[in-house]
Amino acid sequence: MRRLLAIALSLACLQTPGQSVRPAKELSAELDAIFAPFAERGAPGFAALVRLGGKTIFEGGYGVRDQRTLTPIDRHTNFRLASFSKQFTAMAVMLLVHDGQLHYDDRLSALLPGLPGYARNITVRQLLNHTSGVPDYEQLMEEAKKNGGPTWTATRQISDTEVLTLLQQHPQADFQAGGRWSYSNSGYVLLGLIVAKVSGEPFGEFLQRRIFQPLHMNNTLAFEADRNTVAHRAYGHVKQDGEYVEADQSSTSATLGDGGIYSNLDDLSRWDSALRHHTLLSEAEMRPAVTPAVLNDGTQTRWPTTPGEDNLNPGHKVAYGFGWFLDPYQGRPRMSHTGTTRGFRTVIQRFTTDDVTVIVLANRTDLDPAALSLRAADLCLEAISSSR
Residue 144 burial (CB < 10 Å; 0-12/13-18/19+)?
Answer: buried
Q: What is the mean pLDDT of residues 205-224?
A: 98
H helix count then E strand count, the chain: 11, 13
Beta bridge partners of 356: 52, 351
| Cα dihedral 285, 289, 290, 294 in deg (nearest 10) | 120
What is this structure's pTM?
Answer: 0.94
Q: Which residues of 27-62 are buried (b: 16+ CB within 10 A; e: fewer)?
A: bbeebbebbeebbeeebbbbbbbbbbbeebbbbbbb
Q: Are 109 and 164 in contact (CB under 8 A)?
A: no
Q: Are 280 and 95 in contact (CB under 8 A)?
A: yes
Count of beta carbons in the 10 Å neighbourhood of residue 153: 10
On the question of pLDDT at 62 being above 70, the answer is yes
The residue that leads in pLDDT, 381 or 307, is 381
Contacts of 154 (CB under 8 A, 6+ apart): 249, 250, 251, 253, 342
Q: Are 94 and 285 in contact (CB under 8 A)?
A: yes
Distance, CA of 277 to chain centre: 20
Chain segment 70-108, per-residue pLDDT in tens: 999 999 999 999 999 999 999 999 999 999 999 999 999
Task: Print the domain residue range for 89.
Answer: 2-386
Helix, strand and coil percent figures for the chain, each rounded to 5: 35, 20, 45
CATH number assigned to the domain comprising residue 118 = 3.40.710.10
Contacts of 370 (CB under 8 A, 6+ apart): 338, 347, 349, 360
On the question of pLDDT at 186 being above 60, the answer is yes
Largest CA distance in the chain: 66
Length of the chain counted residue by residue = 388
In whole angstroms, what is the distance from residue 262 CA to residue 77 CA? Answer: 9
The one-letter code for the residue type at 358 is V
- pLDDT value, residue 310: 81
Please count the structural domains in the chain: 1
Count of beta carbons in the 10 Å neighbourhood of residue 299: 10
Chain segment 299-309, per-residue pLDDT in tens: 999 999 988 77
Residue 365: pLDDT band with limits 50, 70, 90: very high
